[in-house]
Amino acid sequence: MSLLAALRSAWRALAANALRSVLTMLGIIIGVAAVITMIAVGSGATERVQAQMKGLGSNIMLVVPGGVSQAGVRLGAQTRQRLTEEDALAMAIEIPEVQVAAPVSRTSGQLVGGNSNWGTTIYGVTNDYLEARDWGLMAGRPFDAAEMAGSAKVAWLGATAARELFGEQDPVDQIVRVRGVPMKIIGVLATKGQNSMGQDQDDVLMMPISTLRNRIWGGDATSRLKRVGTIMVKVREGQSMKAVEENIKDLLRQRFKVPVGVDDPFNVRNLTEILQAQEESSRIMTLLLAAVAGISLIIGGIGIMNIMLVSVTERTREIGLRMAVGARGRDILSQFLIEAVTLSLIGGAIGVLLGALATWAVGSFAGWQVSMSAASIALAVGFSAFVGVFFGFYPARRASKLLPIQALRYE
């Protein structure tokens, strides 16, 4: 029997019991749709974490002030303000593996530009901050040395703040008042998007850290000591993040003269490791979800085997008649095997459409990031075909082993 004739025969047999065929395919349909949807959701989560890592920058660590205790009460992290700009400079000079160490201070305030105003986050930074964050300027220029040293009234504006204040106008060379201080916009930051907490990273204004210290804060005690809220450290490519973390701790303990056995007045946070752990968790969750969804495919395969065994029993006389007129065992084997695979592939095709619809629904209505790839579709359909062959082989082989005389006498 030719392959085309076997396909026609299989199609006629399936069409003769259309409802039973549809119910048999249901497990395959649900399984393929579930596998595609779960992989899309998991891949979307992984891509979201990768985007967060890219937005943060590579090989990043944050050094933040530690906690302080008062009358036995621990006030939590960042309540002991001891980090200074000199600490950042010492890290960059004394630890060769450190590419840049950027001191950062932040506050918030209302910006006034032209006829508009906008509340935003205000950062005091150096040019090293852009290198640490892998953050470029969409327009304009960096701060020059004279501006950094002289607390110049210049600033960079984030894309969101620029849009809210100036609309479609070019913000470069415009004047923005920050707490009554006029600041000249000399650059617009490239778009970064949201961070892992859902905060808009483009809703910022950045000025030289000396300008924030002397002109916005007005030279208070914290300003005179050049205290900073955070030091962002970028480690050179190929260097051990753990080793650099220990070197930073040793250096700061020496600078702060921390006695042995006393808590450090600072914390070092390896953000890259945290995000990589999140990415690995997303991958593992994707595999688990796909495995759970794959169980539906196996259940569907068992349904196919069950129905094919029933079909062999129902068509025993037909099998005997085919063999009596010259059909060989392999012809009967191929006929029933093709029927099983056809059931699986049709169910797989419907499952792909249902999975694409479910993926779209999850992305549109639940607001989750999803990513449906051709590889996941090929995996689901290929597995469904494998299920058809695996679970259809036994019934097909059983049919091919029937003796013609016994099959013809079967009632």
Segment 356-372, tens digit of pLDDT: 898 888 888 877 778 78
Residue where one domain finishes, among candidates 235, 264, 293 = 264
138 CB-contact burial (10 Å; exposed 0-12 / middle 13-18 / buried 19+)? middle
Same domain, 225 and 351: no
Helices and strands per DSSP (H, E), number in the chain:
14, 12
| 16-46 tens-digit pLDDT | 777 777 877 787 888 888 888 888 887 777 7
Give a yes or no: residue 243 inside a domain. yes
Q: Would you place residue 157 in the very low, low, confident or very high pLDDT band (cuts 50, 70, 90)? A: very high
d(C-alpha 99, C-alpha 287), whole Å: 37
Same domain, 324 and 180: no
Strand duo 69-70 + 73-74: pairing? antiparallel
Give a yes or no: residue 39 inside a domain. yes
Query: What mean pLDDT, rounded, does the chain reach?
Result: 80
| 58-95 tens-digit pLDDT | 688 889 987 554 444 444 444 455 789 999 999 999 99
pLDDT at 276: 67
Same domain, 253 and 364: no
Helix 271-314 / helix 18-56 crossing angle, nearest 10 deg: 170
d(C-alpha 368, C-alpha 362), whole Å: 6
pLDDT higher than threshold 80 for residue 54:
no
Give the other-Cβ count within 10 Å of 261's Cβ: 5
DSSP-derived letter for residue 178 is E
* H or E element at residue 187: strand 181-189
Same domain, 188 and 303: no
Residue 50 CA from chain centroid, whole number: 5
Same domain, 196 and 299: no
pLDDT at 81: 59
CB 251 within 8 A of CB 86: no
CB within 8 A of 344, min separation 6: which ones?
25, 28, 300, 301, 304, 384, 385, 387, 388, 389, 392
Give a yes or no: residue 65 inside a domain. no
pLDDT at 278: 64
> Left (φ > 0), alpha (ψ -120 to 50) or beta: where does 282 sit?
alpha
pLDDT higher than threshold 80 for residue 408:
no
The percent of residues in the chain predicted with pLDDT above 90, rounded, is 28
Same domain, 100 and 188: yes
d(C-alpha 90, C-alpha 267), whole Å: 17
Instruction: Compute the chain's Rg from CA coordinates.
Output: 34
Residue where one domain finishes, among candidates 239, 264, 289 = 264
Give the other-Cβ count within 10 Å of 210's Cβ: 20
CA separation, residue 389 to residues 31, 233, 320, 382, 385 (Å): 16, 56, 23, 11, 6
Domain that holds residue 148: 81-264
What b/e string do you get for 375-390 counting C-beta neighbours within 10 Å, with b at 16 or more?
ebbebbbebbbebbee
pLDDT at 369: 74
Structure tokens at 244: 């650099």
Same domain, 246 and 281: no
Average pLDDT over residues 186-212: 87
d(C-alpha 26, C-alpha 347), whole Å: 7
Same domain, 113 and 229: yes
pLDDT at 124: 94
pLDDT at 73: 43
- Between 348 and 108, residue with greater pLDDT: 108
| 296-346 tens-digit pLDDT | 777 777 777 777 777 777 667 776 777 776 777 777 777 777 777 887 888
The percent of residues in the chain predicted with pLDDT above 70, rounded, is 80
- Between 66 and 96, residue with greater pLDDT: 96
What b/e string do you get for 53-76 counting C-beta neighbours within 10 Å, with b at 16 or more?
bebbbebbbbbbbbbbeeeeeeee
Same domain, 260 and 331: no
Same domain, 131 and 256: yes
pLDDT higher than threshold 70 for residue 354:
yes
Same domain, 99 and 231: yes
Structure tokens at 60: 């990043």
d(C-alpha 100, C-alpha 136), whole Å: 15
DSSP class per residue in 57-120: -SSEEEEEE---EETTEE--TT-S---BHHHHHHHHHH-TTEEEEEEEEEEEEEEEETTEEEEE
Same domain, 101 and 48: no
Average pLDDT over residues 124-134: 92
pLDDT at 406: 63
CB 156 within 8 A of CB 186: yes
> Left (φ > 0), alpha (ψ -120 to 50) or beta: where does 14 sit?
alpha
* H or E element at residue 185: strand 181-189
pLDDT at 87: 93
Give a yes or no: residue 235 inside a domain. yes
pLDDT at 238: 81
